[in-house]
Amino acid sequence: MFTLNNKDIMLERREAVYKARCGLADTLDVLGLMLTLPVKDKAERVYCYCSLRGKNVLFVAFYTVGDKAVLFADDINKAEMMELNMAVMSQLVYLKSQYEDCDQLMPSELFLEFDPVTREAHVLAGMEYFSDPNVVNIRALTWFKEHGGKLPRSSELAMKTRFRAQTAAAQNPSGNAQLIDLETLEISRKYITGEIEDPAITDPPTGWDAIRSAFNKAYPNTPDPMSFELPNYATEAYEENFENGFETGEQFISYVDKIGTDYGWVDIYDGGDSWHFVSCSFSDMGPAQEDEEKDSWAEYTLRLKKNKDEDKDNLEINNTLGVFRNFIGCVYDEGALIPAYHYVHTGQDFGMDVDEKSDKVAFIVVPDKRLKPVEGPHGLISFLEIVAISKNELQALIDKEMDVEILYKKMGTDITDYNRKSAI
C-alpha cells in the first residue's frame, strides 16, 4: 500500500542539509589548518581551488606575497606536497560524502581564501559543473593567474592551442560563484553536535517556502504536503552499465553532465476534491545570496481527482506521481519550459491510470488558476498546470481542429480525472 509519510521525508531532507553544511564547516577548518601551516611565515593570503563534481576531486593551492602568487607545488618539497595532496583529497572526498543525501545542493567548485594567521576563511561556491577535467584544470590555473601567478609553460601552451575552444569557461572563473554564509554553517554544526535544539527558524527563506506560501493561500490550514524525491532513473541505469564496464569514464561524466542526477522533488497537497501536485524542480530552491539578481521561474502542477476508495486512491496517487515525474523528465529533455496553452503527446496509446484502461493519453498545459504567482528568494515563481486529455481531444489538436485554449474551455475543468468523458 502507498504510504503517506511527508513529515519524515521533510525532516530527513532538513537533517541532510544540516549534515552537508556541517561537513563544509568542518572541511574549512581542516583545510585552513593544513594549507596555512606550511606557508604561514611567508604568505600574505592562502588560496585553494577545489572541484567536487565528476569522478575525481581536484584542488590547486597557492599563496600570495605582494602582487605575486606562488603555487604550493612549486614551493614545497616533493614529499611534503605528496602528503598534503593526500590529506586535502581525503578531506574533499569526506565533504562529498556529507552531501550524499542532498547532492543537488553540493557546490561544483569552491574558491577558498584564508588568512594565514587567523585562518579566517572567505568562501565562494560555484554550482556550474564542467565535465571535462581539462577545463577544470584551466579554471583553477586561470584563478591562480588572476592573483598574479605565472602559468607553467605546458598549461599556458594548452590554453593557447589545444584547449582554445574551452577557455571561455575559464574566463573569470569565480565571477558567478556565490558567497557562502559562514554563520549559517556554524549554526548547522551546533545543531548536529547538539549545542542547539533546532536552527530552522534561523534559516533564510527558500524557494520551497515560497511555494508553500502559495498553497497556504489557496488552501488555508492545509496540512503539510506529502514529499517525494525524483531520482533520474536513467542516470542510475547508465551508472550501473558503466560500473559493469560497458562505457568509458569520459562518456559517463558527459552523460551525467547532460541529464543530471535528479529531477528535484514533488510535493502533494490536499486540495479538497483533488490531490494537488507541484514540482520543485525548475526554480532555485536555495536561499538568496547577497546582491543576487532576480529572475523569473515556473513550476508545474497537476490536480488529480480523488477516489472514494482509499486503497484505489493511494494506488492512483502513486501511479500519477510516476506520470508526473515522466513529464518533468520530458521538460528536462526539451531543455526549456513548455509554456501555457501547448499540448504534450507522450507517445503512449494506453491509459495513464493505474489500470491502463482510461482514454487519457496526453496533456495540455494551462495556467494554474488556483495558485497566484509568488515572490521567491530568487524572483517570481509562476505555476503551470498539466491536465490529462483523451485520445479524441489529442487528435483534434494534432489535426488543428481547435487550439488548446478552446479545448480547455470545452473541457470545463482543470482536474485530471481518468473517468472524465471526452469533450470531443
| pLDDT tens-place string over residues 25-81 | 999 999 999 999 999 999 999 999 999 987 789 999 999 999 999 999 999 999 999
pLDDT band at 376 (very low <50, low <70, confident <90, very high): confident
pLDDT at 1: 24
pLDDT at 108: 93
Q: Which of 198-207, 348-357, 406-415 has the highest mean pLDDT?
A: 406-415
pLDDT band at 187 (very low <50, low <70, confident <90, very high): confident
Question: Cβ contacts of residue 195 below 8 Å, gap of 6+?
Answer: none
The rounded distance, in Å, linking the Cα atoms of 87 and 403 is: 62
What is the residue-wise DSSP string for 219-251? Answer: STTPPPPEEEEEE-HHHHHHHHHHHTTSS-HHH
pLDDT at 211: 87
Q: Tell me the per-residue pLDDT of 285-332, one tens digit each, with 9 for 90 and over.
A: 665 666 667 777 889 999 999 999 999 999 999 999 989 988 887 887
User: In terms of DSSP bridges, do strands 379-390 and 295-305 run parallel, antiparallel, or are they unpaired?
Assistant: parallel
What is the CB neighbour count within 10 angstroms for residue 152? 14
> Residue 126 forms beta bridges with which residues?
109
- The whole-number average pLDDT for the span 11-24 is 83
Domain locations in the chain as residue ranges: 6-190, 204-411
Question: Is the pTM above the cut of 0.75?
Answer: no
pLDDT at 366: 97
pLDDT at 289: 64
The rounded distance, in Å, linking the Cα atoms of 235 and 260 is: 7
Are 113 and 45 a contacting pair, CB within 8 Å? yes
3-state SS of the chain: helix, strand, coil percent to 5? 40, 20, 35
Helices (H), 43-116: 72-75, 78-98
Over 90: is that where the pLDDT of 282 sits?
Answer: no
Give the burial class of 378: count Cβ atoms within 10 A of its Cβ; 0-12 exposed, 13-18 middle, 19 or more buried: buried
Over 70: is that where the pLDDT of 157 sits?
Answer: no
Q: Which of 152-161, 213-222, 262-271, 414-423 has the highest mean pLDDT?
A: 414-423
Q: Which of 394, 373, 376, 393 is nearest to 384 (CA)?
A: 373
- The whole-number average pLDDT for the span 129-139 is 83
Q: Tell me the per-residue pLDDT of 333-357, one tens digit each, with 9 for 90 and over.
A: 777 788 999 999 877 888 999 999 9
pLDDT at 248: 44
Give the phi and the psi of residue 102 in degrees, each rounded to 5: -145, 55
- The whole-number average pLDDT for the span 175-184 is 89
Over 70: is that where the pLDDT of 205 sits?
Answer: no
The end-to-end CA distance of the chain, in Å, is: 36
Q: How far is CA 333 from CA 36, 258, 259, 290, 323, in A?
A: 45, 9, 7, 32, 15
Question: Cβ contacts of residue 123 below 8 Å, gap of 6+?
Answer: 28, 110, 111, 112, 113, 179, 180, 182
| Helix axes 6-36 and 78-98, enclosed angle (nearest 10) | 170
- The whole-number average pLDDT for the span 150-154 is 67
pLDDT at 237: 45
Q: For the domain bounded by 6-190, which CATH number is listed?
A: 3.30.500.20
- The whole-number average pLDDT for the span 135-152 is 87
